[in-house]
């Protein structure tokens, strides 16, 4: 078992247990936020034919040489092509075809003049400007040629991916299965939100915050009723949760208190402990076990600490199990907008609100940094990554921040 390891090392250990768990075939309308489980190669070009990008007249560019407002050129209109139609005949020199946006350009034509630069005179059209070959001409395959691998396995399905699938005539798509993740809260002080709260007790909020984070990271949360600080009971639950789910996340009972049993219970459940304590603040006392290739991750019970360690440690792991290739959060440099006077030996992940103004990112701590302060998570869209031993931080100082919000899986 490793102890007090750097965050990156802990993530690397967990990443060894991230085998995806199969695939589903679902309607593309339901696929937003899922991860592609197939490579998509275009079976035909997009657009599938040469098309006009505007309403106007398809012509032969060479026929328009020297056309101007003062000296327009007259061409005979040989057909009207609307979107969805096929051209009835080709264009030969001296002819033009009236054409709508999105309609196929007839053979022979090599440019389209916009309607605003023309005037219809009975069966003829006056052209007031000159064109070059290829003007306003969208070639077949201009967007995507046939045979191109346009989408690949492991991509997050965004609205654009769904649009592309539809433009290829796909009704369904293969996506990675979402892992089932048990959420379990441990603590004698906890009561469920459907129970009366006696003095000295608190509502079990972690269960809900963590379940929501599981959903955000591509998993299916399976919330369990909270359990008391009893090592045998915890061990029993860990074992049964692990049998029914792909991963188990607990909160509470991982530190050095007399009733912090999760470490011991992991062993009692027959799992093998991979590490205890990660070198970040808040949330240091993370414990991690493995049984039959499935992970148990025990997080601190402190609500903000639990959420932060989830983002840094569990989110990439769950996303990987969900099939996602790109699991790293973006890092940017920001300017401190408030001083931070503390200095800690440990690396600190400071909750912050980061915004863009006048060409720079600016970072404001999003409230008290105590590990139990859940309110500080409300405005928190980034974590300031402060290396161990660094501090205090001054206003105007450049800091590295990890942006939390993009790249969601729904
Ligand atoms: P622990 O990690 O068990 O030492 O708990 C640390 C702090 O987090 C204590 O103040 C607990 O009361 C609080 N806490 C533990 N579990 C939860 C939970 N599920 N929801 C809200 N607060 C919790
Ligand atoms: Mg406790």
Topology classification of domain 331-403:
Beta-clip (2.40.340)
Q: How confident is the model at residue 343 (pLDDT cuts 50, 70, 90)?
A: confident
Q: 202 CB under 6 A from ligand 1?
A: yes
Mean pLDDT of 124-131: 98
Atom of ligand 1 nearest to the CA of 185: 19
Six token digits for residue 275: 């590490």
189 lines ligand 1 (CB under 6 A): yes
Residue 104's contacts (CB-CB under 8 Å, 6 or more residues apart) are: 49, 50, 51, 52, 81, 85, 86, 87
Q: Where residue 344 falls among pLDDT bands split at 50, 70, 90?
A: confident
For ligand 1, say whether the CB of 286 is within 6 Å of any of its atoms: no
What's the CA-to-centroid distance between 8 and ligand 2, angstroms? 26
In angstroms, what is the span from residue 322 Cα to ligand 1's centroid? 29
**Measured in angstroms, how far is the CA atom of residue 325 from the centroid of ligand 2?**
36
Return the residue matching tokens 């991690």: 288
Q: Which atom of ligand 1 is nearest to the CA of 254?
A: 2
Nearest residue to 247 via CA among 4, 10, 21: 21
* Predicted confidence band of residue 382 (pLDDT cuts 50, 70, 90): very high
At residue 323, the pLDDT reads 96
Pick the ligand that lies closest to the CA of residue 185. 1
Tell me, what's the pLDDT at 406? Answer: 52
Residue among 213, 252, 260 to mutate when testing ligand 1 (max atoms within 8 A of CB) = 252
Please give the residue that has the higher pLDDT: either 409 or 189.
189
- Residue whose Cα lies nearest atom 15 of ligand 1: it is 301
Atom of ligand 1 nearest to the CA of 259: 3
* Torsion angle, alpha carbons of 301, 302, 308, 310, to 10: 10
Report whether residue 191 contacts ligand 1, using a CB cutoff of 6 Å: no
pLDDT on residue 148: 97
**89 three-class SS:** coil
pLDDT given at position 408? 43
Assigned fold of 56-127: Molybdopterin biosynthesis moeA protein; domain 3 (2.170.190)
pLDDT of 15 higher than 80: yes
Q: Which of 222, 196, 201, 194 is nearest to 210 (CA)?
A: 222
pLDDT of 410 > 60? The answer is: no
Q: Once rounded to an integer, what is the mean pLDDT over residues 121-126? A: 97
Q: Which ligand is nearest to the CA of 230?
A: 2
* Cβ of 204 less than 6 Å from ligand 1: yes
What 3-state class would DSSP assign to 339? coil
Of the candidate CATH numbers 3.90.105.10, 3.40.50.2000, 3.30.300.130, 3.40.50.300, the domain formed by 24-46+142-176 belongs to 3.90.105.10
| Assigned fold of 2-22+177-321 | Molybdenum Cofactor Biosythetic Enzyme; Chain A (3.40.980)
Check whether 192 has a pLDDT greater than 70.
Answer: yes
Same CATH fold assignment for domains 56-127 and 331-403: no
Q: In whole angstroms, what is the distance from residue 176 CA to residue 218 CA? A: 10
Instruction: Please indicate whether residue 255, judged by its CB atom, sits closer than 6 Å to ligand 1.
Output: yes
Considering only residues 250 and 1, tell me which one the structure prediction assigns the higher pLDDT. Answer: 250
Q: What's the pLDDT tens digit per position in 287-313?
A: 999 999 999 999 999 999 999 999 999
Ligand 1 centroid from CA 283, angstroms? 12
Q: What is the mean pLDDT of the chain?
A: 96
The tokens 């402190």 sit on which residue? 302
229 Cα to the center of ligand 2, angstroms:
7
Q: Specify the pLDDT at position 251.
A: 98
DSSP letters of 228-265?
Answer: -S-HHHHHHHHHHHHHHSSEEEEES--SSSTT--HHHH
pLDDT for residue 14:
98
Does residue 206 line the site of ligand 1, with CB under 6 A? yes
Q: What pLDDT, in 10s, does the model give residues 136-165?
A: 999 999 999 999 999 999 999 999 999 999
Confidence check: pLDDT of 66 > 50: yes
Q: Using an 8 Å Cβ cutoff, are 360 and 335 in contact?
A: yes
**Where do the domains of the chain lie?**
2-22+177-321, 24-46+142-176, 56-127, 331-403
What CA–CA distance (Å, rounded) separates 60 from 94?
8
Burial bucket for residue 328 (CB in 10 Å: 0-12, 13-18, 19+): exposed
Q: Give the pTM.
A: 0.93
Residue 407: its pLDDT value, please?
46
Q: Is the CB of 187 under 6 A from ligand 1?
A: yes
202 CA from centroid of ligand 2 (Å): 12
Q: Candidates 251, 253, 284: which one to mutate for ligand 1, based on the most atoms within 8 Å of Cβ?
A: 251
Report how far residue 175's alpha carbon sits from residue 33's, in angstroms, rounded to the nearest whole number. 10
């Amino acid at each position: 078992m490793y102890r007090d390891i750097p965050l990156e090392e802990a993530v690397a250990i967990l990443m060894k247990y991230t085998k995806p768990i199969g695939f589903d075939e679902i309607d593309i309308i339901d696929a937003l936020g899922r991860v592609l489980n197939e490579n998509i190669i275009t079976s035909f070009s997009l657009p599938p034919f040469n098309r006009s990008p505007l309403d106007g007249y398809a012509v032969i560019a060479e026929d328009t040489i020297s056309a101007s407002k003062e000296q327009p050129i007259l061409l005979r209109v040989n057909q009207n092509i609307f979107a969805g139609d096929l051209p009835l005949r080709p264009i030969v020199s001296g002819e033009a075809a009236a054409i709508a946006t999105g309609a196929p350009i007839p053979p022979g034509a090599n440019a389209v003049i916009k309607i605003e630069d023309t005037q219809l005179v009975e069966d003829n059209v006056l052209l007031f400007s000159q064109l070059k070959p290829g003007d306003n001409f969208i070639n077949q395959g201009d967007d995507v040629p046939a045979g191109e691998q346009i989408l690949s396995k492991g991509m997050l399905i965004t609205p654009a991916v769904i649009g592309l699938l539809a433009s290829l005539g796909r009704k369904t798509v293969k996506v990675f299965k979402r892992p089932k993740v048990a959420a379990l809260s441990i603590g004698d002080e906890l009561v469920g939100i459907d129970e009366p709260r006696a003095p000295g007790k608190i509502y079990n909020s972690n269960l809900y915050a963590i379940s929501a984070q599981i959903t955000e990271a591509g998993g299916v949360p399976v919330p369990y009723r909270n359990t008391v600080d009893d090592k045998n009971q915890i061990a029993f639950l860990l074992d049964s949760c692990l049998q029914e789910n792909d991963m188990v996340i607990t909160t509470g009972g991982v530190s050095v208190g007399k009733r912090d049993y999760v470490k011991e219970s992991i062993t009692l459940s027959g799992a093998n402990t991979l590490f205890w304590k990660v070198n970040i603040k808040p949330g240091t006392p993370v414990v991690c076990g493995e049984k039959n290739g499935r992970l148990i991750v025990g997080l601190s019970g402190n609500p903000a600490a639990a959420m932060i360690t989830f983002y840094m440690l569990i989110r990439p792991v769950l996303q990987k199990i969900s099939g996602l290739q790109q699991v790293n959060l973006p890092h940017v440099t920001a300017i401190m907008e408030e001083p931070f006077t503390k200095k800690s030996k440990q690396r600190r992940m400071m909750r912050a609100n980061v915004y863009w103004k006048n060409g720079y990112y600016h970072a404001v701590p999003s409230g008290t940094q105590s590990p139990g302060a859940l309110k500080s998570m409300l405005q928190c869209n980034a974590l300031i990554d402060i290396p161990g031993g660094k501090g205090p931080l001054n206003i105007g100082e450049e800091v590295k921040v990890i942006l939390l919000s993009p790249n969601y899986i729904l």
